Structure 1
Amino acid sequence: MDLTIYDQTTDGISADQRTLINRVLQFAAKKLQLADDTEMSVTLMNNPAIKKLNAKYRHVDRATDVLSFAAEENGDETPIIMDSALAAELPTNLGDLFISVDKVAEQAKFLGHSTARELGFLVVHGFLHLNGYDHVKPEDEKKMFSLQREILDEYGLKR
């Protein structure tokens, strides 16, 4: 998977955090059997920046831990008409994740686990949203959370 990681934090993320994000997402992409040329991005930021995004796009005026913006929401986009051969050559763009490193630290402390576990959890959670998983209905929640736990456990980020 072609992954781009943007660091918009005030203090900068560590090389270990960047590596964790890349590795856990590559692992999750293989688990879902995504094509190698699948694309997505992850932007890390602080609470004030994610609060602005949350207010603008979700109309919730507070910081959140992760925001997922899928590139191809069903029914929301205008179809692009192109030759089928050209379409087959284009990579699939899943979309973009935005994660608050402040929330990662806060939630890891509150839940009593490592920041690596919390960061991995939020990355996988957002990644699954980009792949069409949701947790609005109880049956969808069960499916998504089960897969999320399976990915994290198999990767080695158990609770």
Structure 2
Amino acid sequence: MAKRHYIPVTADVPGADSKNTCALIRRVVRTALAAEGVTAPCEVDVLLTDDENIHQINLDMRDVDRATDVLSFPEFDLQPGELPTEEDADPGTGLVPLGDMVISVEHVAAQAREYGHSRQRELAYLVTHSVLHLLGYDHLDEGPQKQQMRAREEAILAELGITRED
């Protein structure tokens, strides 16, 4: 049997890591990795938190003094389309440590209301967005990089059957 991805989900907000939420996060991460052609078994650590804690993490790690919706901390400096390999795996676990994502559940709820869709859709979008960051995608410019990342996000969400109306 092939090794599977390991996706631990923890929360420092009571109730944020419900069985359904964790299952959705894991399904989105696995689908995004498969859509990007990642075949090596990977580890992606996910923290669900609130605005106060993500604000502090953003300040400590990025020197940005505000809350945000999602933070991604890649283990590798990849370019879009460049994939980690089994040679990148941790010898102790056999898993490629892709990195960490931190998601504000308060931002998930607020943005779902703002955009008029479900919290599940917003969470799936942010998880997809973060996985793409872990794989080297970026959107700092308003040009081709951002367009490429947005196209991949939409393709992955479509593969999951998640639309803007959800």
What TM-score do you get using the length of structure 1 for normalisation? 0.86
Q: Specify the SS of the correspondent of 2:53.
A: helix
Which piece of structure 1 moves more, 29-38 or 101-110? 29-38
CA contact (8 A) 1:10 1:46 kept: no
Whether 1:14 and 2:11 are equivalent positions in the alignment is no
Whether 1:108 and 2:112 are equivalent positions in the alignment is yes
Shift of 1:12: 3.3
Q: Specify the SS of the correspondent of 1:2.
A: coil
| Pairing of 1:139-154 with structure 2 (within 5 A) | 139-154=144-159
2:21 is aligned with what amino acid?
Answer: Q
Runs of 5+ consecutive residues of structure 2 not aligned to the other structure: 79-85
- Structure 1 residues 86, 50: CA separation in 2 closer, same or farther (over 3 Å shift)? closer
Task: Give the number of the structure whose alpha-carbon radius of gyration is greater.
Answer: 1
Q: Is the helix fraction higher in 1 or 2?
A: 1
Runs of 5+ consecutive residues of structure 1 not aligned to the other structure: 75-84
Shift of 1:14: 2.0
Q: Specify the SS of the correspondent of 1:113.
A: coil
Q: Specify the SS of the correspondent of 2:72.
A: strand
Q: Specify the SS of the correspondent of 1:96.
A: strand
CA distance in 2, matches of 1:124, 1:11: 22
CA contact (8 A) 1:117 1:157 kept: yes
Whether 1:49 and 2:48 are equivalent positions in the alignment is no
Shift of 1:41: 0.8
CA distance in 2, matches of 1:99, 1:11: 14
Q: Specify the SS of the correspondent of 1:67.
A: strand
Which piece of structure 1 moves more, 21-30 or 9-18? 9-18
Q: Specify the SS of the correspondent of 2:77.
A: coil
CA contact (8 A) 1:2 1:36 kept: no
Whether 1:93 and 2:97 are equivalent positions in the alignment is yes
Pairing partner for 1:131 from 120, 131, 135: 135
